[in-house]
Homo-oligomer: A and B are copies of this chain.
Amino acid sequence: MGKGLNMLKECLVNVRTRSPLVHNITNYVTVNDVANVLLACGASPIMADDLGEVEEITALCGGLAINIGTLNKDTIPAMFAAGRKAKELGHPVVLDPVGAGASKLRTETAIRLLQEIRPDAVRGNISEIKSLVFGSGSTKGVDADVADAVTEDNLDGAIAFVKEFARKEGCIAAVTGAIDLVSDGDRCFVIRNGRPEMGRITGTGCQLTALLAAFLVANPDKPLEAAAAAVCAMGLAGEIGWENMGPTDGNSTYRNRLIDAIFRMDGDTLAKGAKYEIR
Protein backbone atom coordinates (compact mmCIF):
# COMPACT_ATOMS: atom_id res chain seq x y z
CA MET A 1 0.00 0.00 0.00
CA GLY A 2 1.47 3.33 -1.06
CA LYS A 3 1.81 6.37 1.17
CA GLY A 4 -1.26 8.01 -0.38
CA LEU A 5 -3.48 5.04 0.31
CA ASN A 6 -2.23 4.80 3.87
CA MET A 7 -3.12 8.46 4.20
CA LEU A 8 -6.71 7.85 3.07
CA LYS A 9 -6.99 4.96 5.50
CA GLU A 10 -5.69 7.13 8.32
CA CYS A 11 -8.22 9.85 7.51
CA LEU A 12 -11.14 7.43 7.87
CA VAL A 13 -9.71 5.85 11.00
CA ASN A 14 -9.38 9.30 12.54
CA VAL A 15 -13.07 9.99 11.90
CA ARG A 16 -14.03 6.73 13.59
CA THR A 17 -11.67 7.33 16.51
CA ARG A 18 -12.29 11.01 17.11
CA SER A 19 -16.07 11.00 16.50
CA PRO A 20 -16.36 14.62 15.42
CA LEU A 21 -19.57 16.45 16.19
CA VAL A 22 -20.82 18.23 13.06
CA HIS A 23 -23.34 21.06 13.04
CA ASN A 24 -25.52 20.93 9.93
CA ILE A 25 -27.69 23.72 8.59
CA THR A 26 -29.13 21.75 5.75
CA ASN A 27 -32.20 21.10 3.66
CA TYR A 28 -35.27 19.19 4.85
CA VAL A 29 -35.23 16.87 1.80
CA THR A 30 -32.17 14.81 2.62
CA VAL A 31 -31.52 15.71 6.25
CA ASN A 32 -32.30 12.27 7.63
CA ASP A 33 -29.79 10.61 5.32
CA VAL A 34 -27.23 13.28 6.19
CA ALA A 35 -27.65 12.48 9.88
CA ASN A 36 -27.45 8.73 9.29
CA VAL A 37 -24.38 8.93 7.05
CA LEU A 38 -22.58 10.95 9.71
CA LEU A 39 -23.46 8.29 12.27
CA ALA A 40 -22.39 5.63 9.76
CA CYS A 41 -18.87 7.04 9.47
CA GLY A 42 -18.47 7.38 13.22
CA ALA A 43 -19.27 11.09 13.51
CA SER A 44 -22.25 12.68 15.28
CA PRO A 45 -24.75 15.09 13.74
CA ILE A 46 -26.52 18.08 15.24
CA MET A 47 -29.13 19.89 13.18
CA ALA A 48 -30.14 23.39 14.29
CA ASP A 49 -31.09 26.36 12.14
CA ASP A 50 -32.77 28.98 14.29
CA LEU A 51 -30.87 32.24 14.53
CA GLY A 52 -31.51 32.18 18.27
CA GLU A 53 -29.24 29.21 18.86
CA VAL A 54 -26.94 28.48 15.94
CA GLU A 55 -23.92 30.27 17.37
CA GLU A 56 -24.11 28.33 20.63
CA ILE A 57 -24.72 25.04 18.84
CA THR A 58 -21.86 25.48 16.41
CA ALA A 59 -19.55 26.40 19.29
CA LEU A 60 -20.23 22.96 20.83
CA CYS A 61 -19.29 21.21 17.59
CA GLY A 62 -16.06 20.54 15.77
CA GLY A 63 -17.23 21.75 12.37
CA LEU A 64 -20.11 23.16 10.35
CA ALA A 65 -21.74 22.08 7.08
CA ILE A 66 -23.91 24.71 5.37
CA ASN A 67 -26.20 23.35 2.66
CA ILE A 68 -28.53 25.78 0.89
CA GLY A 69 -30.82 23.12 -0.59
CA THR A 70 -34.02 24.55 0.90
CA LEU A 71 -32.74 27.90 2.10
CA ASN A 72 -35.28 30.46 3.28
CA LYS A 73 -35.49 33.94 4.74
CA ASP A 74 -35.12 32.55 8.28
CA THR A 75 -32.31 30.08 7.72
CA ILE A 76 -30.12 32.35 5.58
CA PRO A 77 -29.23 34.69 8.48
CA ALA A 78 -28.63 31.59 10.61
CA MET A 79 -26.15 30.30 8.01
CA PHE A 80 -24.17 33.53 8.21
CA ALA A 81 -24.25 33.70 12.00
CA ALA A 82 -23.17 30.09 12.42
CA GLY A 83 -20.55 30.42 9.70
CA ARG A 84 -18.99 33.49 11.30
CA LYS A 85 -18.92 31.89 14.73
CA ALA A 86 -17.42 28.64 13.43
CA LYS A 87 -14.67 30.50 11.60
CA GLU A 88 -13.99 32.67 14.65
CA LEU A 89 -13.45 29.46 16.62
CA GLY A 90 -11.26 27.90 13.93
CA HIS A 91 -13.78 25.17 13.08
CA PRO A 92 -13.80 23.84 9.53
CA VAL A 93 -16.77 25.13 7.52
CA VAL A 94 -18.02 23.37 4.39
CA LEU A 95 -20.38 25.09 1.96
CA ASP A 96 -22.69 23.16 -0.38
CA PRO A 97 -24.18 25.68 -2.84
CA VAL A 98 -27.07 23.40 -3.87
CA GLY A 99 -28.79 24.79 -6.92
CA ALA A 100 -26.58 27.86 -7.26
CA GLY A 101 -27.45 29.22 -10.66
CA ALA A 102 -31.08 28.13 -10.46
CA SER A 103 -32.32 31.29 -8.73
CA LYS A 104 -30.90 34.68 -7.82
CA LEU A 105 -31.54 33.88 -4.17
CA ARG A 106 -29.39 30.76 -4.34
CA THR A 107 -26.62 32.24 -6.44
CA GLU A 108 -26.35 35.42 -4.42
CA THR A 109 -26.59 33.68 -1.05
CA ALA A 110 -23.94 31.17 -2.05
CA ILE A 111 -21.61 33.89 -3.34
CA ARG A 112 -22.09 35.97 -0.21
CA LEU A 113 -21.42 32.93 2.00
CA LEU A 114 -18.28 32.23 0.00
CA GLN A 115 -17.06 35.82 0.30
CA GLU A 116 -18.11 36.63 3.85
CA ILE A 117 -17.58 33.29 5.60
CA ARG A 118 -14.57 32.05 3.61
CA PRO A 119 -15.45 28.37 3.98
CA ASP A 120 -12.63 25.83 4.29
CA ALA A 121 -14.21 23.68 1.61
CA VAL A 122 -16.87 24.01 -1.06
CA ARG A 123 -18.56 20.95 -2.51
CA GLY A 124 -20.83 21.07 -5.52
CA ASN A 125 -21.29 19.93 -9.06
CA ILE A 126 -19.43 21.78 -11.78
CA SER A 127 -22.46 23.93 -12.72
CA GLU A 128 -22.91 25.11 -9.15
CA ILE A 129 -19.24 26.00 -8.83
CA LYS A 130 -19.36 27.86 -12.11
CA SER A 131 -22.31 29.86 -10.84
CA LEU A 132 -20.17 30.93 -7.89
CA VAL A 133 -17.55 32.19 -10.31
CA PHE A 134 -19.64 33.67 -13.09
CA GLY A 135 -22.98 34.41 -11.39
CA SER A 136 -26.44 33.41 -12.51
CA GLY A 137 -26.77 35.67 -15.47
CA SER A 138 -23.58 34.64 -17.21
CA THR A 139 -23.81 30.90 -16.65
CA LYS A 140 -25.19 29.98 -20.02
CA GLY A 141 -22.64 32.01 -21.91
CA VAL A 142 -19.81 30.23 -20.18
CA ASP A 143 -21.10 26.73 -20.70
CA ALA A 144 -19.35 26.62 -24.07
CA ASP A 145 -15.96 27.18 -22.45
CA VAL A 146 -16.10 24.83 -19.52
CA ALA A 147 -18.48 22.01 -20.33
CA ASP A 148 -20.80 21.18 -17.47
CA ALA A 149 -19.93 17.52 -17.18
CA VAL A 150 -16.33 16.68 -16.38
CA THR A 151 -15.24 13.96 -18.82
CA GLU A 152 -11.95 12.43 -19.87
CA ASP A 153 -12.04 14.74 -22.89
CA ASN A 154 -12.25 18.03 -21.04
CA LEU A 155 -10.40 16.87 -17.94
CA ASP A 156 -7.38 19.15 -18.27
CA GLY A 157 -9.52 22.24 -18.56
CA ALA A 158 -11.70 21.16 -15.67
CA ILE A 159 -8.69 20.53 -13.44
CA ALA A 160 -7.32 23.96 -14.26
CA PHE A 161 -10.69 25.55 -13.50
CA VAL A 162 -11.06 23.76 -10.16
CA LYS A 163 -7.49 24.54 -9.11
CA GLU A 164 -7.97 28.20 -9.93
CA PHE A 165 -11.23 28.33 -8.00
CA ALA A 166 -9.59 26.72 -4.96
CA ARG A 167 -6.57 29.04 -5.17
CA LYS A 168 -8.62 32.20 -5.58
CA GLU A 169 -11.04 31.32 -2.75
CA GLY A 170 -8.37 29.87 -0.50
CA CYS A 171 -10.39 26.73 0.08
CA ILE A 172 -10.60 23.09 -0.82
CA ALA A 173 -12.80 22.66 -3.88
CA ALA A 174 -14.58 19.33 -4.23
CA VAL A 175 -16.33 19.23 -7.59
CA THR A 176 -18.24 15.99 -7.96
CA GLY A 177 -19.72 14.23 -10.95
CA ALA A 178 -18.78 11.28 -13.13
CA ILE A 179 -15.18 12.18 -12.33
CA ASP A 180 -14.57 13.95 -9.01
CA LEU A 181 -11.97 16.68 -8.62
CA VAL A 182 -10.64 17.72 -5.22
CA SER A 183 -8.08 20.48 -5.08
CA ASP A 184 -6.47 22.91 -2.68
CA GLY A 185 -5.32 25.10 -5.55
CA ASP A 186 -1.99 23.37 -5.81
CA ARG A 187 -2.64 19.66 -6.22
CA CYS A 188 -5.79 18.07 -7.60
CA PHE A 189 -7.07 14.59 -6.75
CA VAL A 190 -8.82 13.12 -9.80
CA ILE A 191 -11.14 10.46 -8.38
CA ARG A 192 -12.87 7.79 -10.41
CA ASN A 193 -14.93 6.03 -7.75
CA GLY A 194 -18.72 5.97 -7.80
CA ARG A 195 -21.59 4.69 -9.92
CA PRO A 196 -23.88 6.57 -12.30
CA GLU A 197 -26.88 5.16 -10.40
CA MET A 198 -25.93 7.37 -7.43
CA GLY A 199 -27.63 10.17 -9.36
CA ARG A 200 -30.91 8.30 -9.01
CA ILE A 201 -30.83 8.73 -5.23
CA THR A 202 -31.67 12.12 -3.81
CA GLY A 203 -29.02 13.51 -1.51
CA THR A 204 -25.76 11.72 -2.23
CA GLY A 205 -24.18 15.14 -2.70
CA CYS A 206 -25.63 16.43 0.58
CA GLN A 207 -24.35 13.34 2.36
CA LEU A 208 -20.88 13.85 0.94
CA THR A 209 -20.85 17.47 2.10
CA ALA A 210 -21.51 16.32 5.66
CA LEU A 211 -18.90 13.55 5.42
CA LEU A 212 -16.43 16.12 4.14
CA ALA A 213 -17.01 18.25 7.23
CA ALA A 214 -16.50 15.23 9.49
CA PHE A 215 -13.28 14.26 7.71
CA LEU A 216 -11.91 17.82 7.89
CA VAL A 217 -12.62 18.06 11.62
CA ALA A 218 -10.97 14.72 12.35
CA ASN A 219 -7.90 15.45 10.20
CA PRO A 220 -6.94 19.07 10.83
CA ASP A 221 -3.36 18.67 9.65
CA LYS A 222 -4.12 17.35 6.15
CA PRO A 223 -7.29 18.92 4.78
CA LEU A 224 -6.73 18.02 1.14
CA GLU A 225 -6.19 14.33 1.87
CA ALA A 226 -9.13 14.36 4.27
CA ALA A 227 -11.39 15.82 1.59
CA ALA A 228 -10.15 13.32 -0.99
CA ALA A 229 -10.71 10.48 1.47
CA ALA A 230 -14.32 11.58 2.04
CA VAL A 231 -14.95 11.77 -1.70
CA CYS A 232 -13.35 8.36 -2.32
CA ALA A 233 -15.31 6.84 0.59
CA MET A 234 -18.63 8.10 -0.79
CA GLY A 235 -17.89 6.87 -4.31
CA LEU A 236 -16.66 3.53 -3.04
CA ALA A 237 -19.78 3.16 -0.88
CA GLY A 238 -21.78 3.70 -4.04
CA GLU A 239 -19.87 0.87 -5.70
CA ILE A 240 -20.16 -1.52 -2.75
CA GLY A 241 -23.82 -0.64 -2.22
CA TRP A 242 -24.55 -1.37 -5.87
CA GLU A 243 -22.85 -4.78 -5.62
CA ASN A 244 -25.19 -5.61 -2.75
CA MET A 245 -28.33 -4.92 -4.77
CA GLY A 246 -30.77 -7.74 -5.51
CA PRO A 247 -32.81 -8.18 -8.71
CA THR A 248 -35.90 -6.34 -7.40
CA ASP A 249 -34.01 -3.57 -5.60
CA GLY A 250 -34.21 0.00 -6.85
CA ASN A 251 -33.06 3.45 -5.81
CA SER A 252 -34.75 3.42 -2.41
CA THR A 253 -32.94 0.27 -1.33
CA TYR A 254 -29.77 1.60 -2.95
CA ARG A 255 -30.01 4.60 -0.69
CA ASN A 256 -29.89 2.28 2.33
CA ARG A 257 -27.14 0.10 0.90
CA LEU A 258 -24.94 3.12 0.29
CA ILE A 259 -25.17 4.36 3.88
CA ASP A 260 -24.76 0.75 5.07
CA ALA A 261 -21.52 0.55 3.07
CA ILE A 262 -20.19 3.65 4.84
CA PHE A 263 -21.17 2.04 8.16
CA ARG A 264 -19.21 -1.11 7.33
CA MET A 265 -16.22 0.51 5.61
CA ASP A 266 -12.88 0.18 7.32
CA GLY A 267 -9.63 1.89 6.46
CA ASP A 268 -8.25 -1.05 4.49
CA THR A 269 -11.36 -1.29 2.34
CA LEU A 270 -11.09 2.40 1.56
CA ALA A 271 -7.36 2.18 0.78
CA LYS A 272 -7.92 -0.84 -1.44
CA GLY A 273 -10.96 0.56 -3.27
CA ALA A 274 -9.94 4.18 -3.76
CA LYS A 275 -9.24 5.03 -7.40
CA TYR A 276 -7.43 8.29 -7.89
CA GLU A 277 -4.48 10.06 -9.37
CA ILE A 278 -2.95 13.35 -8.30
CA ARG A 279 -2.51 16.05 -10.92
Interface residues of A (CB under 8 A from B): 27-33, 35-36, 39-40, 45-53, 56-57, 60, 69-74, 99, 102-106, 199-203, 240, 244, 248-253, 255-264
Contact = CB atoms under 8 A, between A and B. Distances in A.
Given A240-B248, A248-B257, A248-B261, 18 more contacts: A28-B47, A32-B33, A32-B203, A36-B202, A36-B251, A40-B200, A40-B251, A50-B71, A51-B73, A52-B103, A53-B102, A56-B102, A56-B104, A60-B102, A72-B74, A244-B248, A251-B260, A252-B263
A258 B251 CA distance: 10
Q: Identify the 9 closest CB pairs spanning chains A and B, nearest first.
A: A250-B263, A250-B260, A252-B259, A53-B103, A35-B202, A50-B72, A53-B105, A252-B256, A56-B103
Most chain B CB within 10 A, of A51, A53, A240, is at A53
Contacts of A251: 36, 39-40, 259-260, 263
Given A32-B30, A73-B52, A203-B32, A46 B102 contact: yes
A36 B201 contact: yes
Contacts of A105: 50, 52-53, 56
A172 to B, nearest CB: 27
Contacts of A250: 40, 259-264
Give the oligomeric copy count.
3
Contacts of A49: 70, 72
Contacts of A244: 248
A148 B219 CA distance: 28
A99 B46 contact: yes
B29 A29 contact: no
A60 to B, nearest CB: 6
